[in-house]
Structure 1
């Protein structure tokens, strides 16, 4: 008893199976998380270290290089990037996929603890999982209002950020714009000199006074007492009363020689939200969390915070919410899914004109879709744009097997006159192997995709699994539910009523058109089977079309270049501008950009570092404003041209990658030792970028024109007065930027720095620096001006020093528009190799999307041939022949012709998702050829029909199910090809390639495949005259 017969005899069992699939599928659906796309973040750790006031060269030498050496041998590390800037070192460590970052962080910490003798001003390094710092936040909100910025910073650190981090699904919450308190002790150099005091004396007295120290414990009877000396200073007044006189000298208090103020620390940046200073919070989600639910919980928490802090004058406002984009993306794909189902049902109605038959076939759709959720849950997949697109793409394929089985049952029942039960059993059995092989070959093309690793494997894997799972469930439905329902519901078509005839009248025209198309195809088939020259002429035409379609294809891109509604604009001012001047320029831009149509919020962060001035524009959806994010970016760029800015670079937060590694950016690194030589190379590359068509923005992270004052100490003269270089450096640092004491002061459990410095108003020129008075460490009565010990020189230095794998480098990025990434990269690199000389030891290394693109090309070179090979071997098994499957596989070039022409005509970028559509076609287009050749072989071998006549009969009898399934698949994918809006860039190219390829291949299959089959069969008969052995001959041979 086969599966079809069992299903016909035991319908209750089939119904229970279906209900179980639906129930468990629905349960699993409720446990699936919802997100924008599969998580593709690379495991990354960031080591952040503050080195207050230090120049980039000093940060590089004292911190970055030493830390890089310490972590060079950590396990599972791929590479490192580091940035040495004024006052801070950032080292980014990239790991292999799957690494446990908690264990990796512990290993990093152990290695860093071995680094000793760091300068006092170097803070303890912080290690955090921070790949998301350059990724898209899922939620952004602001804090503004009447309280001062220090109060709001205290709230943020002690309460707001921790509460947001505790929400389930939140990975981290970071805030910008905060400022901490600082006890600033501004000394008077003349008063210090008069009393014979130095900065070191001040710091020493403060540290010895501002002290809490434990003294172990003692036991009294049964009680244990701990002993602790308490002397910490808790207010500015307490600091003013610190005695700083030396033994034997008159009593001197700190207030006698210095001004003590509890104030803000000196800011490195500001943060403004719609023109109002405040704090901005960026929230990042945990991997695998349900983003939509997480955002809903943050909304609730924000309402609670407003209720608590509102009476204190605080105002919380949500500025950005990624769930809105996700909801829109999911809605669009869901609509495409529904539209695909409706279109497929219309196709069934067009061909079958029988509601019972339509219902029988349509049952496979909900069963297959809902059943797929079980597999998604078991493998940990989420509901996202890609997974829903996979379901939408499978709609046409889901009904494929059911259509083939039902059509054959119909023929056995009403054309051959068999009983309904026998027709269901034998009809299903007759096409069972062909249907199974069709489904197997479709799923087989995805097997190599499931073997891919990295970002491409993460993105493509779920799509491949979802489609494979859906079509296998539909195959099971075709073998069980379809014959079971057909045995009870299928009836002989009756003459429709007059009313129904009027309803169906418009379809008669379509029937006539279909009949004409069928007659035309049969005429062409007879014509091309009429002689060898005609056959070769057809093959030549197909070959020419294939070559032409290949030539017109554009260059390749990596991933879709679309993005979210958040625009990040990097504004570079000229080196040397103060923070206040940067802030003034940014305020002008804020005022202009808030009036651009489609801009909802403006968040700005002016910075001391000229390349870190950022403005975020939160944009309305294009459907609401009628203005795209790209148009807003262009308007923002145009409106900034009259300002003295070095560059304005708008970047839309991408769907894939991060703001520094985008799919429309040619990214190269120039490696070398001397920044002067690197600078020359970078300038030439930037000029080449300016002359390259399609390059709209240029960016480099090389900044060498930061004005600086160099103090070159004369060591002999300094030694004469008892100074060494360190003494001079400490004195200059204390006078201008200030020096921290070892101790800190405590305010309600938060510890703040104590800084000793001279009045900053005294330093307004280089001459003021030269007049700094130094007190000899050997004799406090000896005072020497700085220019007596050193030469004061004005020069320029780097604003930031970058390393890649501990080597100096500079980055050049060229943002492209309306041209493929591969074309621009090849053109730019070709010119660089010809026109830019590289000294020995200097080289250019591609990075980012370009690297990933070539990995993709290598992956496709593996996946596509392997997919074809797997399909071929499966066909060899089915036909027990190595030659017959070749005629079926030649339907693949037919599909490539259609896909190439449609991709070119619709201006779809040839990115990785479009290429996935090409791979899918391998499994889809061979299905029609399998049905055709399988039936022709049955006629030849079992019914004695001649070869050419069998091919014609097979084309006639299989034309209806071939057209029905092909049109169903094409129309099922058409909504995805035509959709626009949030996330549509992901699946437009994939669906377009499949629609074009399948449409052309279906028309050509009925003519081209029979012609090729006859040629291959003639060659076999002529050159391979081995006859199959009979059973008796096999026995005698054995």
Structure 2
């Protein structure tokens, strides 16, 4: 018998328990901390850019070929994609919960490599990015100039050059997504000057490629050489350009007849500007640069955030004057608050359990023995957290709160049995313990197995609910099993060392013992009353059964009429606002809307930091000129006590403050209850067209009818979509007959149009030790309206410049932007 071994060797039992506690503490130190168990599916994102292409072109030429290859990746459950009119292609591949994300990322990368040769050259040159990603943002950092000394370009490049790398190296940070401006050498064509000189955009691009390149100069005097060679010299070249002046002096054309030279500055305006003008960020009413930081899988959120803040505070000392950062979004405070609340409950439960045990055992020695079972059972449970992939979260801590009252049961049974033998059988503590363990070892094991049988099946409930409560159930089951082992080892060993005979009835009692005597008298009366009541009800069995039936029916009706949900939405201390202006609204209008909204929201007293991005829809994570997202970090819960300051109240205040805005659809959204399960609270579903038709307008009609019916249901507060197939667009058609008659290649027509209206990536240049891109495009005045096309020219086979407008026709059509 296991108990007899430890009764004879109590030191062994104590040592075993101490080892369990020590190993548990060591395991606890290395465990990740989170608000909830990680039940969000592992995701891998694929992103690429086809600059200048419309949404349908991006889908057909980039997104679909990649999806075709990626489909069927082992462990994949589904994938979704966005193709936008900004040329962005983004695909999210979701895998089964528990899939090794590293292997999944490698599998996706291999399949993307197979698809890459079929993609447009423009996409391949910019490159495809395959990343494993935590679906939810841990922290959003906004860097800005409080006094307005620096513009967004300066701030963005400072962040990309000096801050991003340091943040990426922080232990626990999985990914850093920069929404900060990068430098770009912008070459803005003047189509009229190009036409006057008979030069095409393609010629300019060719000159850039020819005269801005990286060449290895080699060495002078390198081996093999005669034995008389004395020195060896490295040949340095300045073939790659890095200043605006150098680019301006690129030679586009020479005329040997008259010796004239056409420089780039003669036909274009060159500036060191932004690589991408599609995203504009603001924080605290100032232009800003955003870093969106994702936590690494399995990392400790609290430790990661603390290390991140330490790194940023160290970097802050080296920031240029009038550069600072704010935090418009962070998910760590709510984790810390949740863990603290449960820890307080855990301590309260521990105190209450100790008090109740002492109240009924009425002996500090007898009380101490089962109380010592609590830390051994609970801390020992952490040993299995690592191998099982568990985290310290609100559900596992809540399991400990519940387990506190369970793990002492077995020990109390043992103590009571031993004390009974000492008092009534007049045995020594050792003899009493041996006799008691022979009688109750079986029941102790049976109690533990019954409790395990109750909780373990909860961990095998299918679906996401089962995954959510799996850690809760297994934590209780493991702690119960350890408590049973403690009841068979440490508890009997301590009984032999600590228990003593109780005082007789006639012995002198102290104040506490008198209180216990009075309590026992009162409790005995209550017990006798309960026994009499039960005896009376036993004689009225039909009435009791009838009452039970009525009770169960009532409970069933109440349950049926009570609204159900996954997890209630709580005050997370942060909010999101998204807005969408009329289709085809310009970036300028979107930026003005963003600034107006930020100012209105900042006037609400419960907000602490407000920052946003114009041109980004955070729900679909797609770039749209008419959309924007605002992050709102609320003041701490201790600063928002009392009625009217809850996050839901703040949402209502934001809606009231923006109710008069008619130019945009504004959504005020709470974050998801569990990070990673969607971008917002509520639920998201995908409506898929399974037929082969390409009638997007008909699909949109069906989707809108479906949403209208959803919004009529009483349980749906709001259903919405950002899909719109009716974005105003210009359809350009080439008159092929006319082009051929004039000796113009159809490909040349489309290429010229793309070079002027799109943004062409030519090559790279070096600055501050980094590579940046050289981009060409027509100057803004030629792209502000359709009339600008009239000034575009294309060269025919005879070398004459033909107006592009004479070869094409345009009409306004409706097409999806995403």
Instruction: Give the alignment's TM-score, normalised by structure 1.
Output: 0.70
Aligned to 1:776: 795
The aligned residue for residue 733 of structure 1 is 754
Is 2:43–2:94's contact at 8 Å kept on the other side of the alignment? Answer: yes
Rounded to whole Å, the distance in 2 between the matches of 1:577 and 1:688 is: 29
> 2:255–2:261: 8 Å Cα contact kept in structure 1?
no
Aligned residue runs from structure 1 range 303-342, under 5 A: 303-310=313-320, 312-342=321-351
Any unmatched runs of 5+ in structure 2? 616-622
The 8 Å contact of residues 136 and 653 in structure 1, kept in 2 or not, is answered as no
Residue in 2 that maps onto 1:492:
502
> How far 1:306 moved relative to its partner?
1.1
Q: Which residue of 2 aligns with 1:650?
A: 668
Residue of structure 2 equivalent to 1:403: 412
3-state SS of paired residue (1:733): helix
Decide whether aligned partners of structure 1 residues 215 and 77 sit closer, same or farther in structure 2, where only a CA change above 3 A counts. farther
**Cα distance between partner residues in 2 of 1:736 and 1:728:** 12
- The one of 165, 177, 183 equivalent to 1:174 is 177
Secondary structure at 1:697's aligned position in 2?
coil
Structure 2 partner of 1:952: none
The answer to whether the 8 A contact 1:101-1:129 is kept is no
In 2, distance between residues paired with 1:102 and 1:368?
A: 35
**1:157 maps onto 2:144 in alignment:** no
Gaps of 5+ in 1: 801-1038
How do 1:93-492 residues align onto structure 2 when only pairs under 5 Å count?
A: 93-114=93-114, 115-116=116-117, 118-122=119-123, 123-132=125-134, 134-138=135-139, 140=141, 142-144=143-145, 146-176=149-179, 178-214=180-216, 219-221=223-225, 231-245=239-253, 247-248=255-256, 250=258, 251-254=260-263, 255-310=265-320, 312-415=321-424, 420-451=429-460, 455-456=464-465, 458-487=467-496, 488-492=498-502
**Any residues of structure 2 matched to 1:674-753 within 5 Å, and which?**
674-741=695-762, 743-753=763-773
Q: Show CA shifts across 1:114-145 (max 9, x none).
A: 4436444324433333432x403156453546
- With 750-759 and 394-403 compared, the bigger mean Cα shift is at 750-759
Q: Is the 8 A contact 2:571 2:646 kept in 1?
A: no
TM-score normalized by the length of structure 2: 0.88
Aligned partners of 1:141 and 1:320 also within 8 Å: no
Q: Secondary structure at 1:252's aligned position in 2?
A: strand
> What is the number of equivalent residue pairs in this alignment?
788
Partner of 1:29, secondary structure, is helix
- The separation in 2 between residues aligned to 1:559 and 1:22, in whole angstroms, is 33
| Aligned match of 2:618 | none
Q: 1:48 to 1:668 in 2, by over 3 A?
A: closer
Matched residues in 1 for 2:415 and 2:759: separation? Answer: 86
Residues 721, 776 of structure 1: 8 Å contact kept = no
Cα contact 1:143–1:280 (8 A) shared by 2: no
Q: 1:236 to 1:111 in 2, by over 3 A?
A: same
Please state how far the C-alpha of 1:183 moved relative to its aligned partner.
2.5
Task: Report the counterpart of residue 551 of structure 1 in structure 2.
Answer: 557
**CA shift at 1:101, angstroms?**
4.1
- Whether the 8 Å contact between 1:571 and 1:612 is mirrored in structure 2 is yes
- In structure 2, relative to structure 1, the CA distance for the partners of 1:611 and 1:583 (3 Å cut) is closer
CA contact (8 A) 2:369 2:494 kept: yes
What SS is found at the alignment partner of 1:271? strand
- Say if 1:689 and 1:458 are closer, same or farther in 2 by CA, change over 3 A: closer
Residues of 1 paired with 2:450 and 2:598: CA distance?
Answer: 57
Structure with the higher helix share, 1 or 2? 1
Matched with 1:843 is none
Q: 2:635 aligns with which of 584, 595, 620?
A: 620
Q: Secondary structure at the match of 1:289?
A: coil
1:738 deviation in Å? 4.4
Deviation at 1:172, TM superposition (A): 1.8
Give the conservation status (yes or no) of the 8 Å contact 2:419–2:499.
no
Between stretches 412-421 and 674-683, larger displacement belongs to 412-421
Secondary structure at the counterpart of residue 606 of structure 1: strand
Report if aligned partners of 2:151, 2:287 keep a CA contact under 8 Å in 1: no
* Counterparts in 2 of 1:524 and 1:249: CA distance versus 1, 3 Å: farther
| Aligned equivalent of 2:816 | 798
Question: Contact 1:603–1:615 (CA<8 Å) still a contact in 2?
Answer: yes
Shift of 1:165: 1.4
Asked whether 1:589 is paired with 2:597, we answer yes
1:564 aligns with 2:572: yes
Contact preservation (8 Å) 2:672, 2:678: no
SS of alignment partner, residue 434 of structure 2:
helix
Of 572-581 and 181-190, deviating more is 181-190
Give distance in 2, aligned partners of 1:76 and 1:360: 49
Residue 70, structure 1, aligned to residue 76, structure 2: no
